[in-house]
Amino acid sequence: MRTVLTVLACAAVLVGCGQSDPKSAAPDKAEIAKAFAGSPPKLAKLHGEANELLGGGKDAFQARLADLRGYPVVVNSWGSWCAPCRGEFPVFQKVSTQLGRLVAFLGLDGRDNDGEAQKFMKKFPLTYPSYKDPDVKSALSIHAGGFYPTTTFFNAKGKLVYTHPGPYNSAKDLIADIRRYAG
């Protein structure tokens, strides 16, 4: 039985590692300007940190979550080394642009090398910042640690309402969960 489980685990890793990156769905500057025109100040501040990899650890991340109370928040835990994470980035690029005036998006870059993360974010730019989470303490603080990708949803009162393990393969599915859990 142990041999079977080992073979299955190795096969899963090989399948994930063999995937090529999808095409970026990053909007151009004009699309971003139009999409975020009239954003509330807290969300505009978030958009101003688009595609940045922020430090500060768990305390900085928790402070940002607290500051965003009043808005639903979607947190995507990812790593540049994670094939399913790379696969879902175009979904987050689309949806964060579409809903970014109403919903706050944050990333948590877990167990990653800053250089690789920044290289990946250059290829797949986001309209929101990500926090470095090398020790996974920020992710664990929101019950998102250990599995990548994981997306957590907070309502406007700051309450964790849903955790989605695994990738989002379509914008439709992510939008449905935002409306169901965070909206």
pLDDT digits (tens, 9 = 90+) for 38-88: 999 999 999 999 999 999 999 999 999 999 999 999 999 999 999 999 999
Predicted structure pTM score: 0.88
Under 8 Å between Cβ of 126 and 93: yes
Mean pLDDT of 139-167: 95
Q: What confidence score (pLDDT) does residue 7 get?
A: 34
Q: What confidence score (pLDDT) does residue 9 get?
A: 37
Strands of 10-95, DSSP E:
53-54, 73-78
Q: Strands 73-78 and 150-154: what pairing? A: antiparallel
Walk across the sheet containing 53-54 and list its strands.
53-54, 130-133, 104-110, 73-78, 150-154, 160-165
Longest dimension (CA), the chain: 58
Minimal CA–CA distance to 40: which of 70, 65, 74, 60?
70
pLDDT digits (tens, 9 = 90+) for 151-160: 999 999 999 9
CA 21, CA 27: separation in Å to the nearest integer?
Answer: 17
Q: What confidence score (pLDDT) does residue 182 get?
A: 87
Handedness of CA 95, 77, 67, 158 (dihedral sign): positive
CA 15, CA 99: separation in Å to the nearest integer?
Answer: 32
97 has a pLDDT exceeding 80: yes
Q: How confident is the model at residue 121 (pLDDT cuts 50, 70, 90)?
A: very high
Mean pLDDT of 134-139: 96
